[in-house]
Amino acid sequence: MSTGKINVAVENIFPLIKKFLYSDHEIFLRELISNATDATLKLKHLTNIGEASVEYGNPVIDVKIDKDAKTLSITDQGIGMTEEEVQKYINEVAFSGAEEFLDKYKDTAKDSGIIGHFGLGFYSAFMVARKVEIITKSYKDEPAVKWECDGSPEFTISPADKDVRGTEIILHIAEDSEEFLEENRISELLTKYNKFMPVPIKFGTKEETLPLPEDAPEDAEAETKTVDNIINNPNPAWTKQPTDLEEQDYKDFYRELYPMQFEEPLFHIHLNVDYPFNLTGILYFPRLGQDMNIQKDRIQLYQNQVFVTDNVEGIVPEFLTMLRGVIDSPDIPLNVSRSYLQADGAVKKISSYITRKVADKLKSLFNEDREDFEKKWNDIKVVIEYGMLSEDKFFDKADAFALYPTVDDTYFTFAELQEKIKENQTDKDGKLVVLYASNKDAQHQYIQAAKDKGYEVLLLDSPIVSHLLQKLETSKENISFVRVDGDDINNLIKKDEEQISKLSDDEKESLKTLLEETINDKSYTVKLEAMDSNSAPFMITQPEFMRRMKEM
Ligand code: ADP
Ligand code: MG
């Protein structure tokens, strides 16, 4: 027997990286800006703990396009690298300097926001560049160096001309990637991935209109000034403490997240936990109405303020994907498949934490201002009812705030409803019978008849109501739901009430035959006893189970 070591031929690695490292070439920019951010945050940390005695200042990351030279450059004012560090961090593929830093400073740097961890990000530059240059000067008083590589495993290192601390990465954009020399394209990428990153990112300049002085004449023209075009908000609301934010701040942030969304959200939920996993974020309940088919995936997922995806499937419970907002967690393993995610322990905990926070928020909104909660009910019920159906824990919690409105706009909780109908609405086995309508106009006659008998009639009109009723019937004891036009309603009708028909026996017989032929559906029953002496002369009903079967 013999053992050996697999030999990776480096010549083969670059084409592989280029092809497979990331399926999306555009993320190279996110990776390089993440590195520039890390370099800046590292310096911040080192100056904070007194290990670097340089001025931190107000560092900015500068992204520039040079169309003539066909280059894209990213320049930071972070820690920079010495020649030795370039050898170590850049020339060793898959060695992560970010992880090394976190390891070295693990006592103090846990919350420093350092992003990198696989040691592969930098090489994503070769997905779009035929040649990459690094010009860097360390914060340690050492000469600047230049590293150059054309995508083959050979690189050169030489002395460089650079006085200021930091790193400049210059990408010589490959022919098949020239889209990344377009201002609009880069602008789009920066907005998508870097909008909330923690270090200011500059992309060109813009004109800003100065406010007119108070005593300016009416025809005065506003002056403009050229300022840096900073594309990000380094301190987004979700990174702050809830106690430091006003209602208006949450609304403003919603607008920042969804500039095209004109409706205000109904309310928000601030997520903030650091044990046993790290997660921050803000979720918003939009006005949903009856619409189950709203565009999902509006929740954006970030890791340390870097946008990762707006597909949160597998991370957030399905019923909450109808919400909007952001979630930021470094603890979500995104390098694994979605189906694996759902089985991941950390992700499961995250998902149940979010569910619990949403339930708690709903409960406190209900307790604090019930009237307002009732007003919002129609816009939030789809989420709540869907959640009750799909998550048992949520179902249990929802007992405290799920509402059951009547056709007359009275809103009961389930307990209140039971209390209200327990005297008057039982069947022969003593089971509580809840009557409900799904369409006020179409079922008007039946509703009226039930009300005349003193019954409560709920109005349950969400698209998933038949599933929810099934769930309620199996989870709650001794209760059944019957639609006002269902034939089971007869079990309730007090038998001692004499029912007088307005029709003669002959009229009844021919009418019954005629109606049955017209309907031509055996699941319906035609009854010719009057529902009530002052309502319709006959009634067409269908057993509850037949109707639900058709709806499911
Ligand atoms: P990771 O970010 O996961 O550590 P990368 O491949 O993205 O891996 O980067 C490798 C290493 O190169 C970084 O950890 C860092 O030490 C160094 N590096 C890359 N870009 C810069 C930069 N702009 N300034 C200073 N160091 C950098
Ligand atoms: Mg990186």
- In terms of Cβ atoms closer than 10 Å to its own Cβ (0-12, 13-18, 19+), residue 293 is exposed
* pLDDT for res 160: 96
Residues with Cβ within 8 Å of residue 472, at least 6 apart in sequence: 414, 479, 481
Q: Which of 298, 232, 313 is nearest to 261 (CA)?
A: 298
Q: Could you count the other beta carbons within 10 Å of the beta carbon of residue 410?
A: 15
Tokens of 348: 């499961």
62 in ligand 1 pocket by Cβ < 6 Å? Answer: no
Nearest CA among 62, 18, 286 for reference residue 194: 62
Q: How confident is the model at residue 457 (pLDDT cuts 50, 70, 90)?
A: very high
Indicate the range of 249-263, 344-358, 512-526 predicted with least confidence.
512-526
Q: Round to whole Å and give the CA distance between 78 and 47.
A: 11
| CA of residue 329 to ligand 1 center, whole Å | 21
Q: How far apart are the C-alpha atoms of 174 and 131, rounded to whole Å?
A: 8
Give per-residue pLDDT as tens, 156-178.
999 999 999 999 999 999 999 99
Q: What is the pLDDT of residue 295?
A: 61
Give the pLDDT of residue 16: 67
At 233-279, the pLDDT tens digits run 999 999 999 999 999 999 999 999 988 877 889 999 999 998 888 99
Give the Å distance between the CA of 161 and the centre of ligand 1.
21
Pocket flag, ligand 1, residue 288 (CB < 6 Å): no
Q: Is 454's pLDDT higher than 60? A: yes
Burial class of residue 300 (count of CB atoms within 10 Å of its CB; 0-12, 13-18, 19+): buried
Pick 204 or 482 by higher pLDDT.
204
Confidence band of 15 (pLDDT split at 50, 70, 90): low
| Dist CA 542 CA 546 (whole Å) | 7
Of 93-107, 113-127, 350-364, which has the strongest mean pLDDT? 350-364
Q: Letter for the amino acid at 302?
A: Y
The DSSP bridge partners found for residue 527 are 539
Ligand 1 test: best mutation among 115, 122, 146, 147, most atoms within 8 Å of CB?
122
Q: Return the ligand 1 atom nearest residue 78 CA.
A: 24
pLDDT band per the 50, 70, 90 thresholds, residue 193: very high
Residue nearest atom 17 in ligand 1 by C-alpha distance: 89
Residue bearing the CA closest to ligand 1, atom 15: 97
Q: Does 512 or 198 have the greater pLDDT score?
A: 198
Q: Tell me the pLDDT of the chain averaged across its residues.
A: 86
388 lines ligand 1 (CB under 6 A): no
Q: Which single residue is written with the structure tokens 């970030």?
A: 302
Does the CB atom of residue 32 touch ligand 1 within 6 A? no
Looking from the CA of residue 120, the nearest atom of ligand 1 is 6
Question: For residues 388 and 394, what is the distance between their CA atoms, to the nearest angstrom?
Answer: 6
Of 47-56, 57-66, 293-302, 399-408, minimum mean pLDDT range: 293-302
CA 449/CA 254 separation, integer angstroms: 47
Q: Is 92 in the pocket of ligand 1 (CB under 6 A)?
A: no
Nearest Cα residue to atom 13 of ligand 1: 97
Closest atom of ligand 1 relative to the 90 alpha carbon:
12
Q: How far apart are CA 67 and CA 279, in angstroms?
A: 41
Q: Is the pLDDT of residue 498 over 50?
A: no
The reply to whether ligand 1 has any atom less than 6 angstroms from the CB of 450 is: no
Segment 384-411 shows an average pLDDT of: 94
What integer pLDDT is reported at residue 495 of this predicted model? 41
What would the mean pLDDT of 336-353 be, rounded to a whole number?
A: 78
Q: Is the pLDDT of residue 63 over 80?
A: yes
